[in-house]
Structure formats: structure tokens, C-alpha cells
Amino acid sequence: MATSMETPVRRRITIDPVTRLEGHGKIDIFLDEQGAVERAYFQVPELRGFEKFAQGRPVEDMPQITSRICGVCPTAHHMAATKAVDAVYQVMPAPAGRKIRELVYSTFMAEDHALHFYFLGGPDFIVGPTAPAAERNVLGVIAKVGVEVGKQVIAMRRRLRELTALAGGKAVHPVLGLPGGVAKPLTEENRKQFQTVAADAVEFAKFTLSAFEKIVLGNGEYVDLIKSDAFTHRTHYMGMVDEKNRVNFYDGEMRVVTPEGSELDRFPASRYLDVIAEHTEPWSYMKFTFLKKLGWKGFAEGAESGVYSVAPMARLNVADGFATPLAQAAYEQYIATLGKPVHHTLANHWARVIELLYAAERMKELADDPEITSPKIRNIPTATPREGVGVVEAPRGTLIHHYATDERGIVTKANLIVATQNNAARIAMSVDKAAKGLISGKVVSEGLLNMVEMAFRAYDPCLGCATHSLPGSMPLYVRVRDRQGETVSTLQRDADGTVTRS
């Protein structure tokens, strides 16, 4: 190692750019004289100001305008906004319209979860956390599970996206949502198309789950890794549940549980301002949400801290199970293996596959329901519009849209709590913990790169379009500087896995 490392100095490690994120993510890690991590900053240098330019727009345009927040999960924003517009107009969707929305939403959830598993998060396990980085991608997955399966994954995604376009015009930025229902009825032929794909999606999800069980759970080292302290945080959890406390992506009440698993709160989305609040740090454009009851006490875990987490693992923690039989059985095995609540960040991967199975089963249930082809898809609003909140569980967690309008339905105020915001504090903590676990003394280990990467990937942070990306390993550039800002050493890993150090 460089001799300049001999003198104890405080150092700084910058991981920039972290690609495969939407926009730009950055991590700054500061070390003390002994080389221990003092503080890690997980930064989001992105802001587009949708809340501002929503003002002045007709509220019924929000489902289409806000879908442009994210082209990877446009359907999540579209649905949260549509539900908020229902509330603004005080109108209940017509039964068929509501079912079409949930059918499209389940289709979207299945597609998004499958892609994360095969293309992004899965490779760490299927190919192996310590496999050469060049193989740790979807091509490596295909090599491991076979070309036929690889083709199935691509075809499954295409077929699911074609269905979203069938019902919603477009897969990227769909147009179906209107107050009181949807724009277009489903024909009997459409319903049959959904039935066919849904049946295949259930089989696909079952296959995916068995692959996970065989490859990951069948390997003691992986199970140890999942349960290891470096990837564990005891925080609160939040997610949406139905009346029987079962996981629901489209409708229900929000439930919050403590790190011990007991219920801290249960509330309709319209009460979100009573329960959560946003904290701003001067070093990130993303605001950090926390539980108001406990307050913002910094980036800390435990029952006293207001930090909570969302997304698959959190949803399974707040729920008592699933409403469909196969997902319920898988859930029971998950809890039997990991206990409850589960605090191991990497368990998100397993929870995500169980949710994939639920999404496919729910798709099938809805497609089997003859009422879904009813021509009565709308209730036309009659009340004077005022204010409303809409919530869905996006693939990456709870997503809240809140609008207030004038009497013509023109937006006067908009407030959005996006899924990854709910996880932002915990992600920052995970990065910090991975860094603290790996960086000590003078040598910056190459293992840091993959561990930080894995800490990130488990959350599937929607700073990125990473879920649907092509193969490629996250490149990292680590620069170690002394206090004067002089570069002491650098470590770079490229997309092909090549690591260079200078």
C-alpha cells in the first residue's frame, strides 16, 4: 500500500457515480484517523419539482403527468394518482372499473418483481455473491438456470407488458385511470387473454420460487449471509393490508409495526399526515420520512427511533399473511425459516418472489371474475372537487399522492411521498453499516464494493430503472483522500468486473 497511508489521517471515500440508478446516486464515506467509518452519506442529487408544476393542472391529468416521475413504475404513480383523484371528487369507482385497475396493477407488480429477481437482485444469489462480477448478471443467471428459462423470462415480461398496453393503451405511461373508474371496458376476448397469461404467470412464479428455494435456501452459506449482522437492522415497518391484515398492493389501510412486531398504528391513507413526516438533510435532495409518534432521532434503529422501512420484507412484516393459497403457503415457510418480524435486509429478495406469486394468483382471480367485463366501468363524479389522498403499494413500497383543488378541479397543492423516500433512512443506514463492517484500518477491500452493492440492491431502490436493465454489474469507483483532499489511492471496478487499483 501507498506509504502516504502510514500517517493517521481522516479520510474520505467517494463512490460516484453509482450507476443503474435513475438519475444519479452518490455515497460519501468519511473515515477517522484509525480508518473507522465516522459517517456515510447516501445522497440523491435529483429534484424535478413535480409538486410545483402540478399546480394549475386539472386534477384528472395527474395520473398521466405524475407517471412521468418514473418510467419504470409509471403504473404505480398512475394508480396512486387515480385513487387520489377519486378522493378529490368523492367518487367510488364502479366495481368493474375497480377490478380492471387492480388487474392491471397486479400485472404490473408481477412484471416488475420478476425482472428485479432475474436481472438485478437475483444474480447475487443465483450466480453467487462472490462469483466473478462479470458473471454476476442476467447472463450468468441464464448460464446457471438454462437458456430456455432465460427466454421464458424475456417472453413473460413482454406478455405481461402487452396486457398493460391492452387495458391501458401504453405499458410505459398508461392512460386508463379516471375518477370513478377506468377509460375502457375489457371485452370477453381481453379477459381470456388475461386468463391465459395469468395462468402462465402463476406457473412462472412457482418455478421462480422453487429456483430460489433450491439455489439460495439450499445453500447454508447464503442463509448465513441473509441472517448476518452486516445486513440486519431492527426498525419499524409499514405497508398496506386488507381488513384481515393480509398483504394488499391496491387497496386497504396502512399498518405500522414495531421492531418487535406489534401494531403501532393502523390508518387510512387520508390520515398519513398524522403518522409520518419528512425530515430534510442539507446534503440530499431526497427527504427522509419518519414516524411522527417517535420523531426524527437521526439515522438510528430500534424501538425509540422513528425510522421505518417499506417494500416486500416490510409488507410481509406488517401482514398476517396472503389472501391467495400459494402465496400464503410460501409466506408460512418464510416465517418458519426467518421468524417474524424479519430484520434481514436481504430477505427482501425472498419476500419479493412470494409477492410475485401473489400478484400472479391475484391476476388470475380477477381475470376469472366475469364481472370484470361489465360495460359499467365508471361512476361519473358529481360532487365539487376538493382534496384527496391516494395510496398504493408500489413494488418498492408505499406510495402516497395528495392533491387539493379549487372548485373547478384545478390543482392548488400537491404532495407526494414516493416509495424509496420511506426507505431512504434505512438505505443510508445499510450503506453505513456495510461500510463499517468492511472498512477498518488502512486497506479498502474490494469486497466492500459488492457488499455495498448488495446492501443497495435488496431494496430495489427506485432511483433507478435498474429493475428492467440489461445485464451489467454495478461499477464502482472508490477514491480515498486524505484530509487535504489529496487522493491517496483509487479502486475501480468496471462493468466487466475488472478491478484496477492505483
Q: How far apart are CA 187 and CA 71, in angstroms?
A: 27
Site for another protein in 376-435 (CB under 8 A): 378, 380-381, 402, 408-410, 413, 415, 417
Residues 6+ apart with CB under 8 A from 275: 254, 256, 265, 267, 291, 292, 293
Among residues 64, 106, 258, 324, which is the contact residue for another protein, using CB under 8 A?
A: 64
Give rounded-to-5 percent helix, strand, coil for the chain: 45, 20, 35
Beta bridge partners of 415: 402
Residue (26 or 266) nearer to another protein, CB: 26
Stretch that binds another protein, among 170-178, 247-255, 310-318, 437-445 (CB under 8 A): 170-178
**Amino acid sitting at position 490:** T
As measured in angstroms, the least distance from the Cβ of 157 to another protein is 8
Give me 201's grid cell: 404467470
Site for another protein in 348-377 (CB under 8 A): none
Upper half-sphere CA count for residue 185 (Cβ side, 13 Å) = 16
By CB under 8 A, residue 85 contacts another protein: yes
Q: How many helices (H) and strands (E) does the chain have?
A: 15, 17
Give me 210's grid cell: 422453487
Among residues 134, 139, 143, 170, which is the contact residue for another protein, using CB under 8 A?
A: 170
For residue 21, what are the CA distances in angstroms to 348, 463, 470? 18, 5, 13
Site for another protein in 2-61 (CB under 8 A): 10, 12, 17, 19-20, 22, 24, 28, 30, 38-39, 41, 43, 45, 47-49, 51-53, 55-58, 60-61
Contact between 358 and 315 (Cβ < 8 Å): no
Residue (58 or 437) nearer to another protein, CB: 58
Residue (194 or 272) nearer to another protein, CB: 272
Residue (333 or 487) nearer to another protein, CB: 487
By CB under 8 A, residue 494 contacts another protein: yes
By CB under 8 A, residue 135 contacts another protein: no
By CB under 8 A, residue 173 contacts another protein: yes
Residue (64 or 345) nearer to another protein, CB: 64
Residue (231 or 272) nearer to another protein, CB: 272
Give me 448's grid cell: 466492500
Contact between 263 and 256 (Cβ < 8 Å): yes
As measured in angstroms, the least distance from the Cβ of 236 to another protein is 16
Site for another protein in 300-319 (CB under 8 A): none
As measured in angstroms, the least distance from the Cβ of 350 to another protein is 25
By CB under 8 A, residue 464 contacts another protein: yes
By CB under 8 A, residue 184 contacts another protein: yes
Residues 6+ apart with CB under 8 A from 315: 239, 240, 247, 351, 355, 393
Number of residues that bind another protein (CB under 8 A): 101
Among residues 206, 266, 279, 386, which is the contact residue for another protein, using CB under 8 A?
A: 279
As measured in angstroms, the least distance from the Cβ of 456 to another protein is 14
CA dihedral 418, 454, 224, 398 (to 10 degrees): 10
Residue (36 or 47) nearer to another protein, CB: 47
Residues 6+ apart with CB under 8 A from 260: 303, 341
Residues 6+ apart with CB under 8 A from 198: 360, 363, 364, 367
By CB under 8 A, residue 285 contacts another protein: yes
